[in-house]
Amino acid sequence: MHRAYHESNLAYGVLRRASLNPERIALIFEEEKISYEEFGDRIRRQATVLREAGVCAGDRVGYLGFNRPAFFETLLAASTLGAIFVPLNFRLTAEELTFIINDAGIHTLVSDDPVRPVVEQARPNLCCSHYFSSESEADNWRHLNSERAVAEPIKDITPADEHDTCVIMYTSGTTGLPKGAMLTHGNILWNNINMMVAIGASRDDVLLTAAPAFHIGGLNIMTMNCFQLGATVALMRSFDPGQVLEDFERYGVTHMFGAPAMFLFMSQHPDFSSTDLSSIKTLLCGGAPVPEPLIELYGKRDVFFCQAYGLTETSPMACALSEEWATKKLGSAGQAPLYTEVRIVGKDNQVLPKGEQGEICIRGPNIMKGYWNRPEATAEAIDEMGWFHSGDIGYMDEDDFVYISDRLKDMVISGGENVYPAEVESTLYKHDAIAEVAVIGLPDEKWGEAVTAIVALNESQTLTLEELREFATKHLARYKLPLRLHIVDALPRNPAGKVMKYVLKEQLED
């Protein structure tokens, strides 16, 4: 039986940092500088507000919105109570949100102004007991800032075991229904230790966080790590390439995490060549390999990439390719970090020789506890020896560098967002004109991959891309909508009737 300690609670490290270094700057948001003392005070006051709303240890607290201090304050206030934080993708439709909120059983939901209308649309079908507005006052919404201002700061931190769930982060399922990955207090802490060792993080770092914090990359590649170190996070509500470049200079930014598309858009901005990048130590990149021309372009400015591979289920760091290997091991996802193991296995779960293709499996203290309310899916993903089976295909070279050959099943990565074809296909099949459809990712200079629908139509029917997108908008977030449409007579299938997507890719990539 594990004993629960205050120190295992994620909130403990941040609140302890606030008492040790109250004068240091925790957050910069839209030119407002928030000290660790104020950050800690906000967290403690919000914990009181949540407790008085009935939130107890183990209850789920959701946040729907953009990158704002309130996101992290809600996370850490929930953690202070031993509650579980559920970040929600602000791009989702009411239909998609309804499933996730009810699946997680969210007790209290905090929401930003721009996305409150989506919640209102779904609200009659939601299980939440309390709704808080994180910005403006609104009818039928409790006002977070007003209540927090008059609340007494909570003194006690609820003890947590390192194996207790801290965050449930939803990742789209290949069956079309998202699954909630349960990340523990220990998962997040060990991921941070791996990251600190891999890149040599310092309390004097200034991290620019522009990637959405509801994703594991924006949340936990470096952001939570900075709060424990006492470093500064320059937080952007959403990514804007020109603003990023401006903030690099203004705040002396040392690190930034992003998808390759983000760094590409920054390099194409007219201010790129004139921006002083001398404060940058490392740019961390995930979601897809960084193209060699982009590595070279930034390299000419003495700015280097640390490429990382990981999944929501691995908290996320599973491999990292540090800057000294960026060109020597071009195309590699890197090596496993210090406290994590990676291996390549065949169909019988036996380790394969170096250079042979197989499934990438990861083991370590950063591996999720399992999927929320999905014991069968958990058993399928994590074997009896504790190895997480990623579903990604790759190989390992003689120096233990991992190379990824195929993304998870048929997943499409568009602009750093994971798009699962099964989910998109199930929506498109509802269109009256469509007889059969397959969704694949095709190379795209702007987005990395373009969500592409290959459709066979019912007799005497027609369909345009605009019509298809308009139809799907009600059911799917915008980043999941097809960017391209190809009409075919019939989809290629193997003798078992399965669509041969690799044939479609070969035909359309030529």
Looking at per-residue pLDDT, the higher value among 287 and 459 belongs to 459
Per-residue confidence band for 4, with pLDDT thresholds at 50, 70 and 90: low
Q: HSE on the CB side for 367, CA within 13 Å?
A: 20
Mean pLDDT over 405-409 rounds to 63
Alpha-carbon distance of 415 to 404, in angstroms, equals 18
Per-residue confidence band for 75, with pLDDT thresholds at 50, 70 and 90: very high
State both tokens at 412. 């499409």
Please give the pLDDT value at position 497. Answer: 62
Alpha-carbon distance of 18 to 65, in angstroms, equals 25
Most confident among 32-41, 291-300, 439-448, 450-459 (mean pLDDT): 32-41
Alpha-carbon distance of 190 to 197, in angstroms, equals 11
Alpha-carbon distance of 248 to 280, in angstroms, equals 8
- Residue 134, amino acid: S
Exposure string of 345-371, with b = 16+ CB inside 10 Å and e = fewer, is: beeeeeeeeeeeebbbbbbbbbbbbbb
Please give the pLDDT value at position 505. Answer: 87
Please give the pLDDT value at position 397. Answer: 97
Per-residue confidence band for 174, with pLDDT thresholds at 50, 70 and 90: very low
Report pLDDT digits (tens) over 285-328: 987 778 788 898 999 999 999 999 999 999 999 999 988 898 88
Mean pLDDT over 125-133 rounds to 98
H/E stretch holding 249 reads helix 241-251
Please give the pLDDT value at position 1. Answer: 46
- Residue 409, amino acid: K
Q: HSE on the CB side for 330, CA within 13 Å?
A: 8
For residues 415 and 259, is the Cβ–Cβ distance under 8 A? yes
Arithmetic mean of pLDDT over the chain: 93
- Determine phi and psi for 264, rounding to 5 degrees: -65, -50
Query: Euclidean distance between the first and final Cα of the chain, in Å?
Result: 58
Per-residue confidence band for 430, with pLDDT thresholds at 50, 70 and 90: confident
Among 135, 88, 94, 138, smallest CA distance to 108 is for 88
Tell me the residue ranges of DSSP E strands in 52-92. Answer: 60-64, 84-88
Q: What is the dihedral of CA 322, 325, 329, 330, to 10 degrees?
A: 70
**pLDDT(221) > 60:** yes
Mean pLDDT over 217-242 rounds to 96
Query: Which DSSP letter does residue 413 get?
Result: E
Alpha-carbon distance of 260 to 343, in angstroms, equals 26
Mean pLDDT over 418-432 rounds to 84
Tell me the residue ranges of DSSP E strands in 286-401. Answer: 305-310, 317-321, 341-345, 358-363, 370-371, 388-396
Q: Where are the domains of the chain?
A: 412-509
* Three-state SS at 178: coil
Mean pLDDT over 181-201 rounds to 95
Residue given tokens 């369909």 in the structure block:
463
For residues 49 and 144, is the Cβ–Cβ distance under 8 A? yes
412: which strand partners? 419
State both tokens at 398. 């003689």
CB atoms inside a 10 Å sphere around CB 473: 13
CB atoms inside a 10 Å sphere around CB 459: 5
For residues 363 and 335, is the Cβ–Cβ distance under 8 A? no
* Three-state SS at 116: helix
H/E stretch holding 347 reads none
Please give the pLDDT value at position 495. Answer: 58
- Classify residue 105 as left (phi > 0), alpha (psi -120 to 50) or beta: left
Please give the pLDDT value at position 420. Answer: 76
Burial of 235 per CB tally in 10 Å (0-12, 13-18, 19+): buried
Among 119, 118, 53, smallest CA distance to 83 is for 53
Mean pLDDT over 193-218 rounds to 94
Burial of 286 per CB tally in 10 Å (0-12, 13-18, 19+): buried
- Classify residue 348 as left (phi > 0), alpha (psi -120 to 50) or beta: alpha
Please give the pLDDT value at position 480. Answer: 93
Q: How far is CA 288 from the centre of its chain?
A: 13
Q: Is the dihedral of CA 311, 114, 233, 449 positive or negative?
A: positive
Alpha-carbon distance of 207 to 305, in angstroms, equals 14
Please give the pLDDT value at position 5. Answer: 67
Q: Mutual orientation of helices 260-267 and 241-251 as an angle, nearest 10°?
A: 80
Looking at per-residue pLDDT, the higher value among 300 and 423 belongs to 300
State both tokens at 276. 């002083």
- Residue 389, amino acid: H
Class of domain 412-509: alpha beta
Report pLDDT digits (tens) over 23-74: 999 999 999 999 999 999 999 999 999 999 999 999 999 999 999 999 999 9
- Classify residue 273 as left (phi > 0), alpha (psi -120 to 50) or beta: alpha
Please give the pLDDT value at position 498. Answer: 67
Alpha-carbon distance of 319 to 379, in angstroms, equals 23
Among 467, 434, 436, 454, smallest CA distance to 504 is for 454
Which of 117-126, 275-284, 420-429 bottoms out in mean pLDDT, i.e. has the lowest? 420-429
Looking at per-residue pLDDT, the higher value among 510 and 431 belongs to 431
Report pLDDT digits (tens) over 489-499: 998 876 556 68
